[in-house]
Amino acid sequence: MTATRLAIVTGGSAVRYYSHLNQAIFAAEHGFAHRLELSVARDVFSPYWYKFLAIRRTLPDYDWILWMDDDAYFTDWGGHRIEDLLERLEAEDRFLAISEGAPELDGSWTRVNSGVMLLRNDPRSTRLLDLASSAHPSAVREWWDDDRDGMFTDGDQDTIWWALSTAPELHDGFVVTDHRLLNSRAEYYESLDDATIVHFPGPGDKELRMWSFAQRFGLGKELVPGDLLRTYTGKAPRQITRTELAARRVGERSAAAQKRVRRKIDWVRTTGRWR
């Protein structure tokens, strides 16, 4: 595969995790390009909107890009699911593959999750970006139906789903994949090849969830097998100590307790009652 056919793209306004190493090494192993897009921009009202800017900058340089949020990591190093999906999309003349939202443990769900998307250099992708980036989540919320569309997250994936659902010219051009193909969760893993990509979205201590996952499978903070990491960086995996994990877990419990106290205070102020 030529490097101009597909690029793995990630970024934001800062490097927060080691996912860029994971993604860059996967790209090198499979003959893809890799782009780490770090920048700032005026009038970005939400951190999610950096995604649109990075995709616009990079998509003209490639046939396809695989956008990955910076909290998403490859896990299936030996498989060729991305290449197989790419061939399917081209055969069906699609411009986009986006994953279903993996069902959460609390029962919540979303129609799609935009943390990982495979987009084609195609006018339909440009149209999607135009619609989704210009729509404000508050306006999309008025259109949203929780029973039909799932949980509203007040971010880019809501405006993307709105655009895909309401623009007739996009209806036949995208596929929604099983989460195991593009965008899964740690709780669905028993082995690293159970899914292509593990994603750690949402609030809370993301690094605690990342490190706990890495520890389960004998990996370092980069979530890259040790032999591959040494081959491409000359360095050993960054190990996760028990002390680090314990401190993180204490911090998460403390934050959860503080949140419960704040909710209780708000409830008392609103109702004038303790119970």
pLDDT tens string 11-28: 988 999 999 999 999 999
Q: Does residue 235 sit in the same domain as residue 264?
A: no
Cβ atoms of residues 43 and 16 within 8 Å: no
Q: Does residue 18 sit in the same domain as residue 106?
A: yes
Is the Cα torsion angle 104, 213, 70, 247 positive or negative in sign? positive
- pLDDT of 268: 54
Residue 212 lies inside a defined structural domain of this protein: no
Q: Does residue 98 sit in the same domain as residue 18?
A: yes
Q: Does residue 253 sit in the same domain as residue 122?
A: no
Residue 174 lies inside a defined structural domain of this protein: yes
Confidence of residue 76 (pLDDT cuts 50, 70, 90): very high
- pLDDT of 194: 97
Residue 132 lies inside a defined structural domain of this protein: yes
Print the domain residue range for 266. 241-275
Q: Average pLDDT over the chain, rounded to whole?
A: 91
Find the mean pLDDT for residues 141-161.
96
- Asked if the model's pLDDT at residue 5 lies above 50, the reply is yes
pTM: 0.89
Q: Does residue 44 sit in the same domain as residue 140?
A: yes
Q: Does residue 235 sit in the same domain as residue 249?
A: no
Lowest mean pLDDT, pick from 74-78, 89-93, 271-275: 271-275
Residue 1 lies inside a defined structural domain of this protein: no
Q: Does residue 249 sit in the same domain as residue 197?
A: no
Residue of higher predicted confidence among 272 and 2? 272
Find the mean pLDDT for residues 231-245.
90
- pLDDT of 264: 43
Residue 214 lies inside a defined structural domain of this protein: no
- Asked if the model's pLDDT at residue 245 lies above 90, the reply is no
- pLDDT of 274: 62
Q: Does residue 32 sit in the same domain as residue 88?
A: yes
- Residues 27-38 pLDDT 10s: 999 999 999 999
- pLDDT of 272: 65
Q: Does residue 91 sit in the same domain as residue 165?
A: yes
Residue 69 lies inside a defined structural domain of this protein: yes
Q: Does residue 104 sit in the same domain as residue 151?
A: yes
* Closest of 32, 186, 206, 19 to residue 118, by C-alpha: 32
What are the two backbone dihedrals, phi and then psi, of residue 65, each rounded to the nearest 5 degrees? -130, 145
Confidence of residue 92 (pLDDT cuts 50, 70, 90): very high
- Name the burial class of residue 215, with classes exposed (0-12), middle (13-18) and buried (19+) by CB atoms within 10 angstroms of its CB: middle
Alpha-carbon span 254 to 205, nearest angstrom: 12
Confidence of residue 2 (pLDDT cuts 50, 70, 90): low
3 state DSSP class of 202 = coil
Number of domains in the chain: 2
Q: Does residue 200 sit in the same domain as residue 252?
A: no
Lowest mean pLDDT, pick from 6-10, 38-42, 202-206, 250-254: 250-254
- Percent of all residues in the chain with a pLDDT value above 90, rounded to a whole number: 76
- pLDDT of 244: 81
- Residues 210-225 pLDDT 10s: 999 999 999 999 999 9
- Which CATH number is 228's domain given? 3.90.550.10
Q: Does residue 259 sit in the same domain as residue 132?
A: no
Residue 192 lies inside a defined structural domain of this protein: yes
Say how many residues make up the chain. Answer: 275
Residue 211 lies inside a defined structural domain of this protein: no
Cβ atoms of residues 238 and 222 within 8 Å: yes
Alpha-carbon span 183 to 104, nearest angstrom: 13
